[in-house]
């Protein structure tokens, strides 16, 4: 009898993605960690192609291989990042490990400045979206604030992202360059932690709106 129980096979969590592997229940999570159809955490750097199985792997890769600076933050708590030159930095939520990327690039058209984009890195830790608020003081006088209700997801095919949060004006005339701007950032998630116990493990996969970008069209 015991043997019979042990031999019950269960589907892989990524069966809907096409995985046909069946494992004993006790080996299920082991397989899912290495399942070829599990969603990957992709590095957006052109020509890199790194794909991590876990967010931590991608974080190590981005900070180690590409030397992108990283900042840890809590949802709903404001934190500062410095944007001084074109480049990318990584943000990691201390709540759930969700990764975000902040990209700064030269404005294509005058006035000169840095165009700042923030994207969240899929696969997402929560089924709902994220919003953010960014503010910095402009010319040492008033503070400008920008908000984005729905942070876009990182798309490797759209990097650096076309959608941006704000433009940081080039260092104020006469004040010298290279000073950069300190951005005060707040990231919120629509679903607070205390509502987060709905333990439907497939919940986040079932958002159809994102599934048309999974690169599975091999045409």
Interaction site with Zn ion (CB under 5 A): 12, 14, 19, 21, 35, 43, 45, 48, 50
Q: CB of 119 within 8 A of CB of 152?
A: yes
Q: How far apart are CA 119 and CA 127, in angstroms?
A: 15
Nearer Cβ to Zn ion, position 7 or 20? 20
User: Among positive and negative, which fits the CA dihedral 141, 147, 152, 157?
Assistant: negative
| Token pair of 208 as six digits | 């159809």
User: What is the maximal distance between C-alpha atoms in the chain?
Assistant: 83
Supply the minimum distance, in Å, between the C-beta of residue 34 and Zn ion.
8
Supply the minimum distance, in Å, between the C-beta of residue 119 and Zn ion.
15
Q: How far apart are CA 13 and CA 192, in angstroms?
A: 25
Nearer Cβ to Zn ion, position 30 or 150? 30
Q: How far apart are CA 12 and CA 192, in angstroms?
A: 29
Supply the minimum distance, in Å, between the C-beta of residue 193 and Zn ion.
29
Supply the minimum distance, in Å, between the C-beta of residue 45 and Zn ion.
4
Nearer Cβ to Zn ion, position 157 or 209? 157
Q: How far apart are CA 214 and CA 203, in angstroms?
A: 17
70-73 and 87-93 beta bridge pairing: parallel
Nearer Cβ to Zn ion, position 56 or 177? 56
**Would you say how long the chain is, in residues?**
219
Nearer Cβ to Zn ion, position 193 or 202? 202
């Amino acid at each position: 009898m015991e043997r019979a129980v042990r031999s019950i096979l269960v589907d892989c969590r990524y069966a809907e993605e096409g995985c046909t592997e069946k494992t004993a229940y006790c080996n299920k999570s082991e397989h899912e960690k290495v399942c070829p159809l599990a969603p990957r955490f992709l590095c957006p750097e052109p020509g890199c192609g790194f794909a991590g199985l876990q967010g931590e792997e991608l974080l190590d890769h981005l900070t180690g291989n590409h030397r992108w600076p990283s900042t840890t933050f809590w949802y709903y708590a404001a934190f500062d990042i410095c944007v001084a030159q074109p480049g990318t930095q990584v943000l990691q939520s201390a709540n759930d490990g969700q990764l975000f990327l902040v990209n700064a690039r030269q404005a294509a058209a005058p006035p000169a400045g840095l165009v700042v984009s923030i994207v969240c890195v899929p696969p997402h830790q929560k089924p709902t979206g994220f919003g953010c608020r960014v503010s910095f003081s402009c010319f040492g006088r008033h503070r400008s604030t920008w908000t984005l209700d729905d942070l876009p997801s990182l798309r490797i095919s759209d990097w650096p992202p076309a959608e941006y949060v704000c433009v940081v004006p080039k260092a104020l005339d006469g004040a010298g360059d290279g000073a950069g701007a300190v951005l005060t950032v707040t990231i919120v998630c629509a679903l607070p932690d205390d509502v987060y116990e709905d333990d439907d493990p497939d919940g986040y996969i079932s958002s159809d709106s994102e599934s048309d970008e999974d690169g599975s069209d091999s045409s």
